Amino acid sequence: MTEGEGTRRTPLNRERVLRAAVAFADGEGGGGADALSMRKLAQELGVVPMALYKHVANREELLTGMVDTVVGEIAPPAPGAHWKGAVRDRVLSARRTLRRHPWAPRVIEALPAPTPAMLDHLDAVIGLFRSGGLSADLTHHAMHALGGRLLGFTQELFTASPGPGPDAGAAAQLAARYPHIAEIAATAAHAKDGSAVGGGCDDQFEFEFALDVLLDGIERLHRAGWTSAAGDRR
Amino acid sequence: MTEGEGTRRTPLNRERVLRAAVAFADGEGGGGADALSMRKLAQELGVVPMALYKHVANREELLTGMVDTVVGEIAPPAPGAHWKGAVRDRVLSARRTLRRHPWAPRVIEALPAPTPAMLDHLDAVIGLFRSGGLSADLTHHAMHALGGRLLGFTQELFTASPGPGPDAGAAAQLAARYPHIAEIAATAAHAKDGSAVGGGCDDQFEFEFALDVLLDGIERLHRAGWTSAAGDRR
DNA sequence: ACCTGAACACCGTTCAAGT
DNA sequence: ACCTGAACACCGTTCAAGT
């Protein structure tokens, strides 16, 4: 039990905590975020558990920060392609990034709200649809249908929670930072009043929309005699 | 601390444990399965925690049993409709069932392997596609594209785990009980050898298949001037 | 033979005591 | 003022002791 490692390397930034947490979840025999405890992370950093609470409020905030770090690594979109190809590229780029952190989808799905980096990414994808000429209405449903695939995995992004939602001031700030999200949220396609992000949608409609797009697409492929051997991928 | 409740009502079947666990996860202020601990469940049943271990090996087996109970509630398919409508009905029926147990999707997604009731359901859906004339190949990809939607939510059903897989004897048993699953698993559409369930798929191909079906469908709707107001749902 | 209380090795987080 | 050890209220599971 020597002190080792020199006394006080870096005074333990928030960023260093998050990077260590991501590295721990990445490694560690596939245990992922479940295997990550405040105590083990503290030990990894050579500090007492309580020291972590100076940089993250609690375990939930640690996980949120880890997700934001990982999602922030997603490469920016290639400029100026057709909207469909551009969305496709961005989704596959997100997938490449998240594949390096296999624990992330499960953590993301359990988040109470999207992180800023997630909102940046979603706003950018919405922008691609809109500049391709799709209506805000159709774009909204397309985002729901793609769901977690937007970040490269197949899950809900976040289940519609009946939480309090942002107040008017916070909503205005969000709208300024994420204009495309604000636009489709404001779309009155669904009867209820749309709060700034996520809330107020007709879950059942979104579910059936995506289901029917998939079933119709599969039917079309069937009628066309599609087979995977035919390199017909794209 | 009186004994209350009469001494030894029912000697605590496995089924009674599972039903109590499902009821606990259903209620309890939205805590879901995370709020369910062996100790709390034991208290709910008026027994000492150790008593539960007579009926379930551990917490993981408890969760598996809970999922099997819930998925077993899914209504059987309506007979003799067109394959697309039949699949649609069965998926929406599954959704109605799982909506009553909002904790279930997260637990299902975390399962190491599908439960028997899940395999029954998946086998039945595959049967609907096949009797509609779709090839085993296309059906296989369709099942991946629908993913968790087959059970009424939007998630991966289970991430491809490189586990040991069933031995030859167990595989034969599975093939006898789930003939449709065995058939599409045996399909050599993907190069690797297909183990009885789930294993051996080309994740990237399946991801891109579903992504392209969705993007192509959205593009088609866009070109057709689709709008959600137009009651164009189905 | 059966059941179970106490114990073990954890966990996130609090809080008062020590420097 | 800052840091941290001990403590609190949990957890899943084991195991030996009691009937």
Q: What mean pLDDT comes out for the span B60-88? A: 91
State whether A228 and B84 contact (CB < 8 Å). Answer: no
Q: Residue B221 in contact with residue A210, Cβ under 8 Å?
A: no
Same domain, A119 and A207: yes
pLDDT at A83 > cutoff 90: yes
Question: Residue B191: inside a domain, yes or no?
Answer: no
Please tell me the least confidently modeled range out of A212-216, B163-167, B172-176: B163-167
For residues B85 and B194, which has the higher predicted lDDT (pLDDT)? B85
Same domain, B31 and B100: no
Find the radius of gyration of the CA atoms of chain A.
21
pLDDT for residue A214: 97
Task: Identify nearest nucleotide to residue B57 by CA to C1′ distance.
Answer: D13
Q: A39 CA, C9 C1': separation in Å? A: 13
For residues A191 and B161, which has the higher predicted lDDT (pLDDT)? B161
Task: Identify nearest nucleotide to residue B54 by CA to C1′ distance.
Answer: C3
Same domain, B82 and B146: yes
A37 touches strand C (CB under 7 A): yes
A152, A189, A214 member nearest B145 (Cβ)? A214
- A-chain CB neighbours of B207 within 8 Å are 95, 149, 152, 154
Q: B98 CA, D11 C1': separation in Å? A: 28
- B-chain CB neighbours of A226 within 8 Å are 138
pLDDT, mean over chain A = 85
Q: B61 CA, D8 C1': separation in Å? A: 30
Q: How far is CA A230 from CA A224, A234, B215, in A?
A: 12, 11, 20
Strand D: which bases are under 7 Å from protein Cβ? 3-6, 10-15
Same domain, B220 and B118: yes
Q: Show the DSSP H helices in B75-202 as ranges.
A: 83-99, 104-110, 116-131, 136-146, 168-177, 179-186
State whether A228 and B217 contact (CB < 8 Å). Answer: no
A154, A205, A218 member nearest B142 (Cβ)? A218
Question: Residue B194: inside a domain, yes or no?
Answer: no
Q: What mean pLDDT comes out for the span B12-16? A: 89
Same domain, A77 and A127: yes
| End residue of a domain, out of B33, B56, B79 | B56
Beta strands in chain A (DSSP E): none
Please tell me the least confidently modeled range out of A106-115, B99-108, B213-222, B224-233: B224-233
Instruction: Take residue A18 and report the two structure tokens written for it.
Output: 């998050």
Measured between alpha carbons, how far is B133 from B2 in angstroms, rounded to an integer?
Answer: 65
A54 touches strand D (CB under 7 A): yes
Q: Say what the alpha-carbon torsion angle A32, A38, A42, A47 is, to the nearest 10 degrees.
A: 170
Same domain, A79 and A145: yes
Same domain, A36 and A120: no
The top-scoring range by mean pLDDT among A59-68, A187-196, A198-207, B108-117 is A59-68
- Angle among Cα A228, B111, B65 to the nearest 5 degrees reads 125
Question: Residue B188: inside a domain, yes or no?
Answer: no
pLDDT over 70 percentage in chain B: 83
Q: A54 CA, D2 C1': separation in Å? A: 11
A58 touches strand C (CB under 7 A): yes
Same domain, B28 and B114: no
Q: B48 CA, C6 C1': separation in Å? A: 13
B54 touches strand C (CB under 7 A): yes
Q: What mean pLDDT comes out for the span B215-223? A: 98
pLDDT at A231 > cutoff 80: no
Half-sphere exposure of A74 (CA within 13 A, CB side): 26
Same domain, B108 and B33: no
Confidence of residue B6 (pLDDT cuts 50, 70, 90): very low
Question: Residue A176: inside a domain, yes or no?
Answer: no
Q: What is the pTM assigned to this prediction?
A: 0.89
Same domain, A33 and A112: no
Confidence of residue B197 (pLDDT cuts 50, 70, 90): very low
pLDDT for residue B159: 62
Same domain, A39 and A119: no
For residues A189 and A160, which has the higher predicted lDDT (pLDDT)? A160
Confidence of residue B130 (pLDDT cuts 50, 70, 90): very high
Question: Residue A173: inside a domain, yes or no?
Answer: no
Find the radius of gyration of the CA atoms of chain B.
21
A49 touches strand C (CB under 7 A): yes
A40 touches strand C (CB under 7 A): yes
Question: Residue B96: inside a domain, yes or no?
Answer: yes
Q: Cβ contacts of residue A231 below 8 Å, gap of 6+? A: none
- Provide the sign of the torsion angle of the four alpha carbons A50, A53, A55, A58, taken in this order: positive
Please count the residue pairs, one from chain A and one from chain B, whose beta carbons lie less than 8 angstroms apart.
140
Q: How many domains does chain A have?
A: 2
pLDDT, mean over chain B = 85
pLDDT at A202 > cutoff 90: no
pLDDT for residue B157: 60
Q: What is the DSSP string of A65-127?
A: HHHHHHHTTSPPPPTT--HHHHHHHHHHHHHHHHHT-TTHHHHHHH-SS--HHHHHHHHHHHH
pLDDT at A156 > cutoff 80: no
- B-chain CB neighbours of A209 within 8 Å are 233
Instruction: Take residue B184 and report the two structure tokens written for it.
Output: 């599409």
- Provide the sign of the torsion angle of the four alpha carbons A26, A31, A34, A36, taken in this order: negative
Q: How far is CA B98 from CA B22, B71, B94, B192, in A?
A: 12, 7, 6, 33
B55 touches strand D (CB under 7 A): no
State whether B154 and A135 contact (CB < 8 Å). Answer: no
Q: Give the gap in angstroms from C-alpha B164 to the nearest C-alpha of chain A.
A: 16
Question: Residue A194: inside a domain, yes or no?
Answer: no
Strand C: which bases are under 7 Å from protein Cβ? 3-6, 10-15
B14 touches strand D (CB under 7 A): no
A88, A153, A226 member nearest B138 (Cβ)? A226
Q: What is the CATH number of the domain that holds A17?
A: 1.10.10.60
Domain that holds residue B8: 3-56
Q: Give the gap in angstroms from C-alpha B168 to the nearest C-alpha of chain A.
A: 27
- pLDDT tens per residue across span B72-83: 999 887 777 899
Same domain, B101 and B138: yes
Question: Residue B129: inside a domain, yes or no?
Answer: yes
State whether B221 and A233 contact (CB < 8 Å). Answer: no
